[in-house]
Structure 1
Amino acid sequence: MRIIAGASLFLVAPGAMAQPDDITGYLDGIRVEYGLPALAAAVVRDGAVVAVAAVGTRVHGEQIPVRLDDRFHLGSNTKAMTATLAGMMVEERRLRWTSTVGEVLGDDVPGLSPGIASATLEQLLSHASGIPADTEEMLDLYFSNSTFDYNLPALRLRTLEAWQHNAVSVPDGSPFQYSNFGYMIAGSMIEKVSDTPWEQLMYERIFAPMGLRTARLGPQATYGLVDAPVGHRIAADGSVTPMLWGPAADVPPVISPSGNANMSVLDYAAWAGWNAGQGRRGPVLVSPGTLNVIQSVHVQTPVRENPPPGTPETGGYGLGWGVVAFDWADAPLLTHNGSNSMNLARIVIDTERDLAVVVLSNFPGRRASSAVGEVMRHLYLDYAKR
């Protein structure tokens, strides 16, 4: 199968970068060593990109070179953006961190089980509500035929209604259970109090103010074009299938608040740099105080051996952010992994140094996780001591 690339332009705003280091050679060596189609990374210090590159091909087995403005999928790294939208609603007094699901959505979804009804916004965003990780019943709801009958805000409420009979329970020790369903509910709470779909809020309240020109939601390639590095599925026999467009190329839209943003490595670096600066550089999305609430530890996560790519390993968890003590860093760092099972993204932020590293690939799995983790560690250590 020969795939023809769509049109793409390399555009960077004048003055956005002051001759950042070209890490193409290093990045391509890692990409080849681990057998990845594409790999992109950037380092941001004091709000400026100081190193960046994007290497490889948009499609495994094809020769369609990636460009610096190509969109990569962020997966669950979108959760920090959903938490930021929640912070906006809190600052506007439409929500409180202690607002419960029952208070906000009880009229729309009557009959909520007591455990779900009493779950707070803070608990949903910190994975501490008692709502579990994706169960078989949840997966069936995500892929329900109702997808074709309702707008997404209504579909999210119907999905919650269909699951509301479940009792939730907090595990012994840590209450942490990584829950995409919980983020879907948080998205519904944001939609209810703003009277605006989550998707629209993402464009109007985050992408546009930050000037994230390439940012989109859903699969990264434009329908009918290969104008971005597409994700890939790896079968049990090791065969690789590019997932170009359509429903199979991303998570079901009903759980978009849990992770379906995509953007270029430069745009993601801008988001990383804003967070590394603790909201003290423009634009003003939320106040530094609210951002501190989002970035601070709310729950301790249990140790997980070989966690799936896209989920935290251990340490603390804030609201859409992990706070992890890596063995190669001298203090805990903000971090998160993101994967829709076809792509992989990682971010690490050192707010004390105003330093951030982002690494992105259009390939999933352990091999990609090892490569992306190696790049993240190397770039952080290199630029932290400069």
Structure 2
Amino acid sequence: MTVSPQFCIPYFMSLFRNASLPEFFMKSIPVILRSVVIVLLLSAPSICLRSDADDSSREMAAKLAEISRKHDLPAMVAAVVNSEGLVTSACSGNRKRGTADEVELSDRFPIGSNTKSMTATLAAVLVESGKINWNTTVGNVWPKASDKDIHPKLAAVTLDELLSHQSGLPANISDVSAQAWASFFDEKQSPALERRRMLKLVLSNPPSHARGKFVYSNLGYAVASAMLETSAGESFESLMRKHVFGPLEMQSADFRSMESAKQLQPPLLWGHQADGGKPLDPRNAGSENPTVYAAAGTIHVSIEDYAKYAAWQLAGKPAPVLRSKDVFDHLHKPQADYTTAGAKYGSGWIMMNTGLGPAFNHAGSNTNTFALIWLFPESDFGVIVCTNSGQEQAFAACDEMVSHLMAQHAGSNNLQPQPALVAPALGEIGPERLVGRYQLAPNFVFDVTLRDGHVMVGITNQPTQEVFADSPTRWSYRGVDAKLEFHLRAKGPAYALTLHQNGAAQKAKRIRD
């Protein structure tokens, strides 16, 4: 059986319909969102503390068991995270359908196309080190290649365009040659050499569609990984272990290959085929994509190590993977209109605005497993759910678990549909909407008040000072080169402020009085 990673955007508390996909692609749910985004009440309490993890884990495990039974899945695993790390995690079910071999938190789940944001993260590392640039083209990396080797229109494609699915490349190697695609499962050479073979096969052909148009392409990520390893003079897999897995202490994370699969020893986490749910031995060819697609979706990782990556993304700080905030922010820059109205794609993330603030999400499958991640940086909240089944009901089950965890950990038992948020008109913002307390660090709180119509800002252990309006949302100190930028939605008080000082921007989130 041949497999290809795939992804989707589920919408909460809804039913899924099938979508027809190219050959070798799994049947997936359509990327359709409701006209309203389902969100939680913004005034809800924050996520439970780590000290509550035992009770929370037991409740989570019970819910996983309930949903697994409802959707007839062998096993599920889930984690809730915030910017400080893992909040709680749990698992339920069996490693293989029909056995009593119980799944554990240490089991490494395939995350499919969720690998892509990690590939983009590695690209950011190399951009920061000067080995490549977001605008580096295919032709720049292989300047000696002739037009016969690299079609001129593909030679002009940039790294950014590859990472945002705007390259013009087809979706998969199988679209170029089904026979060649099947041969990559033999993995007769090192992954780097397999990617070189792939380049010779695909880059000589003209683009399959217009450059700059969003068309999801696993092949584009495979080409991007070859660009990265060529520019750095080291294999993609080695670079990822050194620069992403290592700094984040993701000890279980690695790429699956036939060589590593043959060395696996029981207990083994089995995948279950999309068509019929038959167990698939992870040591067999076809249980995962070949190594040529490492950058597109062959990472296997435990849920708690995956949570480390999610927490780093939520924290909004470059360290320990990166040094530059600009490079980090580029990973969350919308670059292409996604197939759903209002959604964007960039650097391995699907992005949209919700009542919990901007959300990053992705889903992935190798047709035998399914993984789903949602991150809400402004609400400091994230959810990851995985299952060892690629069946159609796996999508609905993971979506249902995400909805449950959002409701539980954000403090509301009811999901409330609300209209999509729009930026407020500046003239409608009065200074009373800025009043509140904003925490930058445990011992660094901005206390914004109104005094006789003047906006006053007190800082922990510092005197209160007046700030003056540059605009309804930007206010400056006098005598100190510092500005405060307030972040608001269409209604209600500001949910955060950013301190701009000495060339740096530091965000403080609104806290309860």
**Would you call these one fold, judging by a TM-score over 0.5?**
yes
What amino acid is the match of 2:343?
G
Pair 1:125–1:231, CA change in 2 (3 A): same
1:321 match: 349
Q: Quick one: distance in 2 between partners of 1:95 and 1:252? A: 26
TM-fit CA distance, 1:288: 2.7
8 Å contact kept, 1:84–1:286: no
Alignment partners' CA distance in 2, 1:34 and 1:344: 13
CA contact (8 A) 2:187 2:291 kept: no
Are residues 1:164 and 2:190 paired?
no
Residue aligning to 2:232? 194
The equivalent of 2:114 in structure 1 is: 77
Change (3 A) 1:109 1:246: farther
Q: Show the counterpart of 1:302.
A: 339
1:183-222 → structure 2 map (5 Å cutoff)? 183-218=221-256
- Within-5 A mapping of 1:297-376: 297-303=334-340, 315-325=343-353, 329-376=355-402
Distance 2:208 2:90 in 1: 45
Q: Which residue of 2 aligns with 1:8?
A: none
Residues 245 and 286 of structure 1: is their aligned pair in 2 closer, same or farther, counting only changes over 3 Å? farther
CA drift of 1:239 comes to 5.3
Is the Cα–Cα contact under 8 Å of residues 75 and 261 in structure 1 kept in the other structure? yes
Number of the residue aligned with 1:122: 160
In structure 1, C-alpha distance between the alignment counterparts of 2:187 and 2:370, rounded to whole Å: 28
Measure the CA separation in 2 of the matches of 1:221 and 1:163.
28
- Alpha-carbon distance between aligned partners in 1 of 2:91 and 2:214, rounded to the nearest angstrom: 35
Asked if the contact 1:70–1:227 (Cα under 8 Å) also holds between the matched residues in 2, the reply is: no
The one-letter code matched in structure 2 to 1:166 is: N
Deviation at 1:116, TM superposition (A): 1.2
Q: Residue 26 of structure 1 corresponds to which residue in structure 2?
A: 63
* Structure with greater helix percent: 1
- Is 1:94 aligned to residue 140 of structure 2? no
Distance 2:186 2:278 in 1: 28
SS in 2 for 1:360: strand
CA contact (8 A) 1:126 1:317 kept: yes
2:468 corresponding residue in structure 1: none
Where do residues 216-255 of structure 1 align in structure 2 (5 Å cutoff)? 216-218=254-256, 223-235=263-275, 238=276, 240-255=278-293
Q: State the secondary structure of the residue aligned to 1:24.
A: helix
Question: Does structure 1 retain, via aligned residues, the 8 Å contact 2:289–2:366?
Answer: yes
Deviations 1:267-297 (A, max 9, x none): 11111111011235x4233533212111121
2:179 maps to which of 140, 159, 164: 140
TM-score, with normalisation over the residues of structure 2? 0.65
CA contact (8 A) 1:232 1:342 kept: yes
Displacement after TM superposition at 1:141 (Å): 2.8
Larger fraction in strand: 2
1:107 aligns with 2:144: yes
Distance 1:330 1:354 in 2: 9
1:255-274 matches, cutoff 5 A: 255-274=293-312
Most deviating of 125-134 and 213-222: 213-222
Q: Corresponding residue for 1:378?
A: 404
Q: 1:108/1:200 Cα in 2 relative to 1: closer, same or farther (>3 Å)?
A: farther
1:131 equivalent in alignment to 2:131? no
Once residues 71 and 96 of structure 2 are traced to their aligned partners in structure 1, the CA distance between those partners, rounded to angstroms, is 16
Which stretch has the larger CA shift, 149-158 or 371-380? Answer: 149-158
Distance 1:145 1:183 in 2: 16
CA drift of 1:132 comes to 2.0
Distance 1:71 1:349, change over 3 A: same
Distance in 1 separating the partners of 2:240 and 2:315: 21
Per the alignment, do residues 284 and 155 of structure 1 end up closer, same or farther by CA in structure 2, a change over 3 Å counting?
closer
Shift in Å, 1:241: 2.9
Distance 1:365 1:209 in 2: 34
Q: Which amino acid aligns with 2:265?
A: L
Secondary structure, counterpart of 1:42 in structure 2 = strand
Q: 1:385 to 1:46 in 2, by over 3 A?
A: farther
Q: Distance in 1 between matches of 2:225 and 2:214?
A: 19
Question: How big is the shift at 1:375?
Answer: 0.9
| Structure 2 Cα separation of the partners of residues 227 and 146 of structure 1 | 24
Residues 1:286 and 1:127: Cα distance change in structure 2 (over 3 Å): farther
Question: SS at the partner of 2:366?
Answer: coil
Shift of 1:46: 2.9
Deviation at 1:153, TM superposition (A): 1.5
Q: Counterpart in 2 of 1:53?
A: 90
Q: 1:160/1:218 Cα in 2 relative to 1: closer, same or farther (>3 Å)?
A: same
Pick closer, same or farther for the CA change 1:109–1:264 going to 2, 3 Å. farther
1:142 is displaced (CA, Å) by: 3.0
Whole-angstrom CA distance in 2 between matches of 1:365 and 1:375: 16
Displacement, 1:138? 4.7
**In the alignment, is the contact (CA less than 8 A) between 1:109 and 1:160 conserved in 2?**
no
Long gaps (5+) in structure 2: 1-48, 413-513
SS of 1:337 mapped into structure 2: strand
User: Are the structure 2 counterparts of residues 221 and 167 from structure 1 closer, same or farther at C-alpha, using a change threshold of 3 Å?
Assistant: closer
Instruction: Return the index of the structure with the highest Cα Rg.
Output: 2
Report Cα offsets for 1:181-217 as digits up to 9, x if no partner.
1001100010011111011112111112111121121
Aligned counterparts of 1:146 and 1:222: Cα–Cα separation in 2? 14
Structure with more relative contact order (C-alpha pairs < 8 Å, separation 6 or more): 1
Task: Give 1:252 deviation, angstroms.
Answer: 1.0
Is the contact between residue 146 and residue 155 of structure 1 (CA under 8 Å) also seen in structure 2? no
Identity %: 31
Residue-pair matches, total: 356
Q: Structure 2 CA distance, aligned partners of 1:169 and 1:130?
A: 6
CA distance in 2, matches of 1:227, 1:209: 28
8 Å contact from structure 2 (residues 256, 300) kept in 1: yes
Change (3 A) 1:314 1:181: farther
